[in-house]
Structure 1
Amino acid sequence: MFELGKYKLNLKQYVDSYEKMLLIRRFEEKCGQLYGMGLIGGFCHLYIGQEAVIAGIDLAKDKDDSTITSYRDHGHIIASGIDPKYVMAELTGRASGCSKGKGGSMHMFNSEGRFYGGHGIVGAQVPIGTGLAFAEKYNNTNKLCFTFLGDGAVNQGQVYEAFNMAALWKLPVVYVIENNEYSMGTSVVRSTAMTDLYRKGESFGIPGFQADGMNIESIYNAAMQAVQYVRSGNGPVIIEAKTYRYRGHSMSDPAKYRTKDEVEEKKNHDPVAAVRQITIDKSYASEEQLKEIENKVKKTIAEVAEFATTEALPSEDELFTDIFK
């Protein structure tokens, strides 16, 4: 089913993707800085190193397709089209945050952009995403749900219950496994008997294929073929994106379970740097044009940080809103 190199990115897609990936990278770096200053509390999981996955998927999805993911969600909600200042304001607990300052890093939403979280329980988003896909089929919309999960979530039981229902009812869902190799801190080879994660749906008849998660064109190629398959009414597909996070599992993780040499070697395949270099090599943009993009992103992040650290905190009344009794 899967054909390598079937789809290629064009000039505009490369340039736009560089800006989007750079924005996510700089946003996450600023998150790390603000966390270190004590302006962001609680758990905070950065997406640095994995930007090509969401950027490649975003190029293949329709604007009305839905997205759901785990707690490593900043890149996904930014890709959904929300102004990043509302995402950062959520991280700093401000009333103008996308979840009114009450969800924090792990629970953020953008219903207008059809982004449904941001979920803190490992694997919990998979049955929810499957339910979103069920709603699309029930309402005959021809829209999909991109349900993201990590390599750690693949070992959770509810994932397979969801796979079974999705296959049984041929639901329009693309499961994207972001395999960054370490889940919380244990390598895939030490935690999973079957390390080819794209094959995890075989017993349910769900096809899957692997893509290079550090290469946006590989992800885009996989996503385009997955979208065609699912939107044709064939049921779910699994994409395993082989990626890597450069930071620890969360801001409190020193990541001592891997060597500096390993991390440095992976940085030789930095997805953001790769898109920039290809854009230059193919003459899609000049050095000056890319500098303009970089200055634009730098200015945006400065404005985002200013907004998120000066906006008002939620009022005490907000303690009693959005509560289910």
Structure 2
Amino acid sequence: MSNQLKGVSNQLINELNLEKHDLTKMMYDMILIRKFEENLKQLYQQGKIHGTMHLCIGQEATAVGACFPLTKEDKITSTHRGHGHSIAKGTDVNKMVAELLGKVTGYCKGKGGSMHIADMEVGNLGANGIVAAGLPLGTGAALTSQMKKLGYVVLCFFGDGATNEGAFHESLNLASVWNLPIVFFCENNLYGMSGSIKEMTNIESIAVRGASYGIPSETIDGNDILEVIKATTAAVERARHNNGPTLIEANTYRWEGHSRSDARKYRTREEEKEWKKSNDPIERFKTVLLENGIITEDDFAELNEKAIKQIQDAVEFAESSESPSLDTLMTDIYV
């Protein structure tokens, strides 16, 4: 890291009042998300996970950085690529793995799978298999907070593809008109299901769409966790003090395909290698912490081993849990 970058990182750490335990916890959560996803990939290849799933390897900084300023009472809405968001908000990884393996100890008793994980106790209102569906849900939750004077803020995660859906525009318009306490957080990983964002949208930046609704907006480096924290902290405080919504576009990159059946024919392997080599959010944050004397290489290795052990324990918990019995097939369909 250059002295200039080191200075900027150190300045941001001080500006955001980040303590050593905050920085170490965020480093651990990013590693935990990475290990969680890598293990799921293996379990899927072993035939232990059915259906599909969408991995967020390479996007750890957006999840952890965006959730950092939130309290337990604050809410998030997630996406089909939501494992990282759930972990960053404090969702139990044991129950997450159990759900993915279809076990009764999972969040939906093994009936929901990857795209239906939610935990109301930590403010995780849930993932969603429908593109952009979390936007009106998040807007509704923010309206509830405002009308009932509950004081919580909603952070709504969505991808670049969602910004071409009507639900995106309707949600931003209502949130702006009603001055709702919500942060719209777009994870722009540059590609949709089968092509580049450049083929889907004729604008340079998704953030410019906020201006149409009178919403403060900005584009940030989503692989720089400190930049994510800075932008999100400001947006959360704005919402908490009744100053309305914010739109944040965080540019990032997913290492894997859209889903497990995606051959990624729309991008080159050279591009993927370059992103992994020079823009890995975990390695970038690790370098910042090492350069600023927050952790040592031994500390990082210890965090890595701790995360591996936690995920191994979660897999053991899930595999030793029971599968749902057939006589529960029609239960929990409606509330």
TM-score of the aligned structures, taking structure 2 as reference length: 0.93
SS at match of 2:248: strand
| 1:281 pairs with 2:291 | yes
Residue 13 (structure 1) shift: 2.2
Contact in 1 for aligned 2:146/2:181 (Cα 8 Å): yes
Q: Partners of 2:16 and 2:25 in 1: how far apart?
A: 17
Q: Partners of 1:41 and 1:117 in 2: how far apart?
A: 20
Summarize deviations over 1:257-314 as a string: whole Å, max 9, x none: 1111111111111001111222111111122222221111111111111122221101
Equivalent position amino acid for 1:179 in 2 = N
SS at match of 1:116: coil
Equivalent position amino acid for 1:197 in 2 = I
Aligned to 1:260: 269
Equivalent position amino acid for 2:52 in 1 = F
Unpaired runs of at least 5, structure 1: none
Equivalent position amino acid for 2:305 in 1 = N
Q: Partners of 2:328 and 2:140 in 1: how far apart?
A: 29
Aligned to 1:46: 55
Query: What does residue range 124-139 of structure 1 map to in structure 2 within 5 Å?
Result: 124-139=133-148
Residue 199 (structure 1) shift: 1.6
SS at match of 2:28: helix
Contact in 1 for aligned 2:54/2:80 (Cα 8 Å): yes
Aligned to 2:114: 105
Residue 318 (structure 1) shift: 2.2
| 1:311 pairs with 2:321 | yes
| 1:86 pairs with 2:68 | no
Equivalent position amino acid for 2:96 in 1 = V
Which one is further off, 152-161 or 10-19?
Answer: 10-19
Q: Partners of 1:321 and 1:286 in 2: how far apart?
A: 51
Equivalent position amino acid for 1:276 in 2 = K
Summarize deviations over 1:186-210 as a string: whole Å, max 9, x none: 1111100123111212111111111
Query: How many residues align structurally?
Result: 322
Contact in 2 for aligned 1:199/1:207 (Cα 8 Å): no
Residue 8 (structure 1) shift: 6.1
Contact in 1 for aligned 2:91/2:124 (Cα 8 Å): no
2:74 equivalent among 65, 84, 94: 65
Contact in 1 for aligned 2:57/2:254 (Cα 8 Å): yes
Aligned to 2:333: 323
Aligned to 2:23: 14
How well do the aligned residues superpose, as a CA RMSD in angstroms? 1.4
| 1:140 pairs with 2:149 | yes
Unpaired runs of at least 5, structure 2: 1-10
Identity %: 39
Residue 150 (structure 1) shift: 0.2
Q: Partners of 2:165 and 2:332 in 1: how far apart?
A: 29
2:181 equivalent among 161, 167, 172: 172
Tell me: CA distance 1:9–1:270, structure 2 relative to 1, closer, same or farther (3 Å): farther
Summarize deviations over 1:39-78 as a string: whole Å, max 9, x none: 0111100010000001111211122100011111111111
| 1:211 pairs with 2:220 | yes
Runs of 4+ in structure 1 deviating by more than 4 angstroms, as ranges, are none
Contact in 1 for aligned 2:189/2:252 (Cα 8 Å): yes
Q: Partners of 1:234 and 1:194 in 2: how far apart?
A: 27
Q: Partners of 1:179 and 1:73 in 2: how far apart?
A: 14
Q: Partners of 1:302 and 1:179 in 2: how far apart?
A: 31
Contact in 2 for aligned 1:210/1:241 (Cα 8 Å): yes
Q: Partners of 1:307 and 1:129 in 2: how far apart?
A: 32
SS at match of 1:103: coil
TM-score of the aligned structures, taking structure 1 as reference length: 0.96
Residue 142 (structure 1) shift: 2.0
Aligned to 1:197: 206
Summarize deviations over 1:68-90 as a string: whole Å, max 9, x none: 11111111111221221110110
Q: Partners of 1:10 and 1:260 in 2: how far apart?
A: 38
